[in-house]
Amino acid sequence: MNGLVDIHCHLLPGIDDGAADLEASLAMARMSVEQGVETIVVTPHQLGAFECNRGDDIRRRTAELQAELTRHDIPLRVLPGADVRIEDHMIAGLQSGDVLSLGDHRRHVLLELPHELYFPLEPVLNGLKRIGMAGVLSHPERNAGLLARQDLIESLVDDGCLMQVTAGSLVGGFGPDSQAMAERMASRGLIHFLSTDGHSPKRRRPRLGEAYTRAVELVGEDAARLWCSENPRAVAEGREVVPGPIVVRKPRRGWSLFSRGAA
């Protein structure tokens, strides 16, 4: 499928642990286009160990990368964003614009937990709601704390947290435990976005098209399109994404997607 949108990709060169240089960025961009992606929200790390990454610098680098993509005839649109480590001063940074929301629309914030643990997100989600923003939790299926307490996912989704699962997890790139959790979340309608979290053309490659194909096998084309195109496109355009779980069920042939509360 074409028309895919990736809202989590470390495509900017030389700013974090993602693409090392422009050559790597261009290689990742070409891979993404081959996978059917037409828009990427670039998400360098902010806060935590990457406190030095500032909003205006990310905006400038994103515009420079777009110019390079155009110069190299790569049909890909890039928008500014960030993979934001949850810190006490995160809300203030979002309000000032120094910490970036996805697409720089001040509507959706990509939230990163420490990989090795989980801590309650309700205060963070409530703080974002007070300033008119929604939290998108990045790669919950790879967080050690949530892998050990998978029952927490449903309550977080019920509380309005949007879930972004890594494309590579769904196709087995992060091991059987993360794959099993990603598949379980898919079957229970607890995913809002599939995104690549791409870091390199060789290591953690962008694989959104492969994940789309796997999602079709698991839950049908409607759900796969929602997670890989419709919801991420809404984020990229600054529109609302409906929170809460969706209801998926298995009819006589394959899986179909129904709105929450469908019979």
**pLDDT per residue rounded down to tens, the chain (263 residues):** 799 999 999 999 999 999 999 999 999 999 999 999 999 999 999 999 999 999 999 999 999 999 999 999 999 999 999 999 999 999 999 999 999 999 999 999 999 999 999 999 999 999 999 999 999 999 999 999 999 999 999 999 999 999 999 999 999 999 999 999 999 999 999 999 999 999 999 989 999 999 999 999 999 999 999 999 999 999 999 999 999 998 776 534 544 444 443 32
Q: What is the rounded radius of gyration, in angstroms, for the C-alpha atoms of the chain?
A: 17
Q: Distance (Å, rounded) from C-alpha 133 to C-alpha 126? A: 9
Q: What is the pLDDT of residue 246?
A: 87
pLDDT tens-digit readout, 209-247: 999 999 999 999 999 999 999 999 999 999 999 999 987
CB neighbours of 67 closer than 8 A, spacing ≥ 6?
Answer: none
Question: What's the CA gap between 155 and 159, in Å, rounded?
Answer: 6
Query: What element of type H or E holds 71?
Result: helix 55-71
Taking each helix axis from N to C terminus, what angle separates 176-187 and 208-219, rounded to the nearest 10 degrees?
A: 50
Identify which of 131, 182, 127, 190 has the alpha carbon closest to the alpha carbon of residue 155. 190
pLDDT recorded at residue 260: 43
User: What is the C-alpha separation between 159 and 125, in angstroms, rounded?
Assistant: 8
Cα→Cα distances 27→56, 188, 200, Å? 25, 35, 8
The DSSP bridge partners found for residue 45 are 83
Residue 55 carries which side chain, given as an amino acid letter?
A: G
pTM over 0.85: yes
Sign of CA dihedral 235, 238, 162, 122: positive
- What the chain holds in terms of domains, given with CATH numbers, is 4-258 (3.20.20.140)
**What are the percentages of helix, strand and coil residues in the chain, rounded to 5?**
40, 20, 40
